[in-house]
């Protein structure tokens, strides 16, 4: 029996293979892709094959009087779906109830066109998207949130209503210790929570002789907070204002007091290290840090040339990547000065071709 009845038609999960076959496929793709740079062993961190995604988006499709969730199809723009086994159980339990509630209220149903779900171990949040004025259905939305016991955000062009809270609270357990995180609905989050916990533990296990850490693309502190307990001081930057706001909250709620978070792009930070002045850096003396480790977790586009040139000056680099192609391009340059010591594959995206990697590098002269 296949993992999902929509396999073969759905554009989201496209690997119609057993889990062992998927592992072998991903492993051999990565081995082959990085053959020119690394000949050592690869660690593979597996995932649950169902209920692993804590964030999911669906379209809402109207047909006669009925409503359906949709995904992009492999061969069609909209594929009607009535199950999505990859999503967290809280989401899969809620999905039919939400759809029935919309079907049962003409005002709520009218011009609803999309939805997003985020589930943490403390909260569940639904975003409903409308092509109509949501202020006209404020009361209906409020009742929907109350009846389903959810946090709800409704959006239509230029308008947003929040019922409950748009702040989500999450807890991770890393090496037996609880870490608490707060973030907002629009934030970047690692979609596969249990694999994310494995990634953080793996990074922790690979820190040798720590002094200070520079972390770029830190989000709301996913790696930063647990890592901070290994280092003397941590400097972490991120472009998103909201993410930095929550990173600071997360540092406090986990009693991590050796952190400086900067709301600045990595490219600007590189200029700052070269002497450019930014008001946002007024309280920070960049010369005070003695970075033994640099951690980067960039978006799919990978690292800017200025970032690569900068990080090559440091002894230890940890590169987390959701795109093996840009990772390979960037490593070709970094491996001119550094050697790959350890390479891991984190199977965040089961049943898809997407692959998350982690790479530990050490400067050649320091080996």
Active-site residues, by number, are 322
Query: Rounded to the nearest whole angstrom, what is the least distance from the CB of residue 187 to ligand SAM in the complex?
Result: 8
Q: Which residues contact 252 (CB under 8 A, 6 or more apart)?
A: none
Interface residues for ligand SAM in 314-333 (CB under 6 A)? Answer: 322
Among 182, 190, 323, 351, binds ligand SAM (CB under 6 A): 190
Among 299, 305, 353, 366, binds ligand SAM (CB under 6 A): 299
Query: Rounded to the nearest whole angstrom, what is the least distance from the CB of residue 313 to ligand SAM in the complex?
Result: 19
Q: Which residues contact 204 (CB under 8 A, 6 or more apart)?
A: 174, 175, 226, 227, 230
Among 169, 194, 201, 265, binds ligand SAM (CB under 6 A): 265
| Range in contact with ligand SAM (rule: CB under 6 A) among 90-98, 99-107, 262-270, 323-331 | 262-270
Phi/psi zone of residue 66: left (φ > 0), alpha (ψ -120 to 50 degrees), beta?
beta
Q: Tell me how far CA of residue 8 lies from CA of 1, 62, 303, in angstroms.
A: 13, 23, 34
Regarding 266 and contact with ligand SAM (CB under 6 A), the answer is yes
Of the pair 192, 237, the CB lying nearest ligand SAM is at 237
Query: Distance between CA atoms of 29 and 18, rounded to whole angstroms?
Result: 16
Q: Is 297 among the annotated ligand-binding positions? A: yes
Of the pair 59, 226, the CB lying nearest ligand SAM is at 226
Of the pair 239, 331, the CB lying nearest ligand SAM is at 239
DSSP state of 87: B
Interface residues for ligand SAM in 206-235 (CB under 6 A)? Answer: 217-219, 222-223
Q: Which residue is nearest to ligand SAM (CB)?
A: 219
Q: Is 347 among the annotated ligand-binding positions? A: no
Query: Distance between CA atoms of 281 and 74, rounded to whole angstroms?
Result: 47
- Which residue, 184, 179, 134, is CA-closest to 159? 134
Q: Where are the beta strands (DSSP E) in 175-325?
A: 177-184, 212-216, 233-238, 259-263, 291-296, 316-321
Burial label, 265 (beta-carbon count in 10 A; 0-12, 13-18, 19+): middle
Of the pair 22, 192, the CB lying nearest ligand SAM is at 192
Query: Distance between CA atoms of 58 and 70, rounded to whole angstroms?
Result: 6
| Range in contact with ligand SAM (rule: CB under 6 A) among 38-46, 103-111, 239-247, 252-260 | 239-247
Of the pair 142, 304, the CB lying nearest ligand SAM is at 304
Q: How many other C-beta atoms lie within 10 A of the C-beta of residue 236?
A: 25
* Parallel/antiparallel/unpaired status of strands 291-296 and 316-321: parallel
Query: Rounded to the nearest whole angstrom, what is the least distance from the CB of residue 47 to ligand SAM in the complex?
Result: 16
| Range in contact with ligand SAM (rule: CB under 6 A) among 55-63, 206-214, 297-305, 327-335 | 297-305
Q: Is 217 among the annotated ligand-binding positions? A: yes
- Apex CA 346: angle with CA 340 and CA 349, to 5°? 140
Contact 74, 8 (CB under 8 A): yes
Of the pair 105, 184, the CB lying nearest ligand SAM is at 184
> Site for ligand SAM (CB under 6 A): how many residues?
19
Regarding 238 and contact with ligand SAM (CB under 6 A), the answer is yes
Regarding 307 and contact with ligand SAM (CB under 6 A), the answer is no
- Could you tell me how many residues make up the chain? 367
* Parallel/antiparallel/unpaired status of strands 291-296 and 112-119: unpaired
Query: Distance between CA atoms of 44 and 26, rounded to whole angstroms?
Result: 9
Q: Is 41 among the annotated ligand-binding positions? A: no
Question: Which is it for the CA torsion 104, 108, 111, 115, positive or negative?
Answer: negative
Query: Rounded to the nearest whole angstrom, what is the least distance from the CB of residue 62 to ligand SAM in the complex?
Result: 34
Of the pair 115, 237, the CB lying nearest ligand SAM is at 237
| Range in contact with ligand SAM (rule: CB under 6 A) among 47-55, 163-171, 260-268, 274-282 | 260-268
Binding interface with ligand SAM (CB under 6 A): 188, 190, 217-219, 222-223, 237-240, 243, 265-267, 297-299, 322
């Amino acid at each position: 029996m296949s993992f999902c009845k929509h396999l073969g038609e759905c554009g989201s999960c496209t690997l119609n293979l057993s889990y062992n076959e998927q592992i072998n496929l991903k492993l051999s793709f990565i081995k082959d892709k990085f053959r020119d740079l690394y000949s050592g062993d690869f660690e593979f961190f597996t995932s649950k094959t169902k209920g692993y995604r804590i964030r999911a988006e669906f379209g809402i499709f109207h047909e006669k009087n009925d409503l359906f969730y949709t995904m992009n199809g492999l061969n069609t723009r909209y594929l009607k779906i009535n199950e999505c086994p990859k999503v967290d159980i809280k989401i899969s339990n809620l999905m039919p109830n939400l759809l029935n509630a919309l079907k049962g209220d003409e005002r709520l149903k009218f011009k609803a066109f999309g939805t997003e779900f985020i589930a943490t171990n403390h909260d569940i949040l639904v975003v409903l998207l409308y092509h109509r004025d949501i202020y006209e259905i404020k009361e209906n939305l409020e009742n929907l949130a109350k009846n389903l016991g959810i946090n709800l955000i409704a959006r239509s062009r230029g308008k947003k209503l929040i019922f409950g809270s748009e702040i989500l609270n999450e807890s991770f357990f890393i090496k037996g210790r609880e870490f608490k995180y707060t973030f907002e609905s629009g934030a970047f989050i690692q979609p596969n929570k249990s694999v994310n916990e494995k990634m953080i533990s793996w990074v922790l296990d690979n820190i040798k002789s720590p002094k200070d850490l520079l972390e770029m693309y830190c989000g709301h502190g996913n790696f930063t907070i647990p890592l901070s307990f290994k280092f003397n001081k941590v400097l972490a930057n991120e472009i998103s204002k909201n993410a930095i706001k929550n990173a600071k909250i997360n540092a406090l709620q986990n009693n991590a007091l050796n952190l400086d978070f900067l709301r600045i792009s990595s490219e600007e930070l590189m200029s700052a290290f070269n002497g450019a002045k930014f008001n946002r850096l007024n309280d920070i003396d960049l010369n005070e840090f003695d970075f033994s480790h640099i951690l980067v977790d960039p978006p799919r586009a990978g690292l800017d040339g200025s970032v690569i040139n900068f990080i090559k000056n440091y002894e230890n680099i940890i590169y987390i990547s959701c795109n093996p192609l840009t990772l390979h391009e960037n490593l070709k340059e970094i491996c001119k000065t550094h050697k790959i010591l350890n390479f891991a594959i984190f199977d965040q995206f089961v049943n898809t071709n997407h692959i998350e990697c982690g790479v530990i590098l050490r400067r050649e002269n320091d080996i």
